Amino acid sequence: MLICVAAALGLSTGAIQVSPADILGTLGLAESPTDATTVAVIRDLRLPRVLLALLVGASLACAGATMQGLFRNPLADPGLVGVASGAALAAVATIVGSQFIALPGPWLPFTTPLAAFGGGLIAAALAERLASSAGYSRSSTLLLAGLAINAIAGAGIGLLTQLAGDAALREAIFWLFGSLSKSGWTELSVAGPLLVAVLILLPRDARALNALLLGESEALHLGVNVEALRRRLTLLIVVAVATCVALTGIIGFVGLIVPHLLRLTLGPDHRLLIPASALGGAALLAFADLASRTMLAPAETPIGILTALIGGPFFLALLIHLRGRAEAW
């Protein structure tokens, strides 16, 4: 229900107000006389943006729920293994480097997303490599490797921003805070199938994640190949996060807030938690994108700022609520 409301508001609200009849007419669900300008606004600008917001929000939250179950840590974030920071470093390097190296015109719009996607995959692969010991990757060492990569990438981003000119600096900073302003059918057609595939594949291991909650030894006794499960799910999480960051920049807290809140509400059963997180993440990001477009219109607020404004107070309230109680899991 929330997703339908968020999508309807996203399609109707903006510099040009659109009626529900116009939306239905443009989508072919009703016969409504709609002028060409309104059709173009809905079909070419707002519809791909709303769809991408739903897909990215669902993917980040679904990846977050899986990450928390995989590492048995309710505060784990899908970017914890270094993928988001690696993607950010590669993207900022591309933005700053474009000041000095002229790229061919047709490739220019795709350089930053491609660099971000590749940087995220390389960072995650490096974390996996560093964490491997005799061919076996342990959760704690993988998280430590991810933290180290996050720190190194953060330092690299800081250094690159010192070298950036005014235009490149503004683009880099705005990208680092996340935005759906460059969403279009091209981006959706390329990234959509990847994200949909991840959303289909992650819930298939829900039972194995439930067994893993008992501990690795117990999961092994129940027939779960823990190492294969970890590698498979980590790969899917990395692909999801790298794709999202390549399209929208860094949007924090969606993969942390939604699954954590739903875990407290619905319990730790991943058969319910992962699909519910996908729905909750889609609704949250759709509403956040709507706010980013309208709050300071005609200027656009970076969406990562809004998700941080939601996430920070949420965890402060959670800390106060859980004070003096046992750790919630």
Spatial separation of the C-alpha atoms in residues 317 and 264, rounded to whole Å? 14
Q: Backbone phi, then psi, for 99, in 5-degree steps?
A: -70, -30
* 328 within a domain of the structure (yes/no): no
Looking at residue 72, its pLDDT comes to 87
Q: Tens of pLDDT along 147-204?
A: 889 999 999 999 998 888 888 888 888 778 888 888 889 889 888 999 999 999 999 9
Q: Which pTM value belongs to this model?
A: 0.89
* 165 within a domain of the structure (yes/no): yes
Q: What is the pLDDT along the chain (329 residues), one digit of tens a residue?
A: 788 888 888 888 877 788 787 788 777 777 765 677 888 888 888 999 999 999 999 999 999 999 999 988 888 888 888 899 999 999 999 888 877 776 655 555 678 888 999 999 999 899 888 877 645 556 778 888 888 899 999 999 999 988 888 888 888 887 788 888 888 898 898 889 999 999 999 999 999 999 998 888 888 888 889 889 988 999 999 999 999 998 898 898 899 889 988 998 898 999 999 999 999 999 999 999 999 988 887 788 889 889 888 878 877 877 777 665 544 44
Q: What is the CATH number of the domain that holds 307?
A: 1.10.3470.10
Domain count for the chain, please give it. Answer: 1
Spatial separation of the C-alpha atoms in residues 228 and 243, rounded to whole Å? 23
Looking at residue 271, its pLDDT comes to 94
* 329 within a domain of the structure (yes/no): no
* 302 within a domain of the structure (yes/no): yes
Looking at residue 134, its pLDDT comes to 45
Residue 95 neighbours by CB under 8 Å, 6+ apart: 112, 164, 168, 171, 172, 175
* 67 within a domain of the structure (yes/no): yes
Residue 203 structural domain: 2-322
* 175 within a domain of the structure (yes/no): yes
* 38 within a domain of the structure (yes/no): yes
* 327 within a domain of the structure (yes/no): no
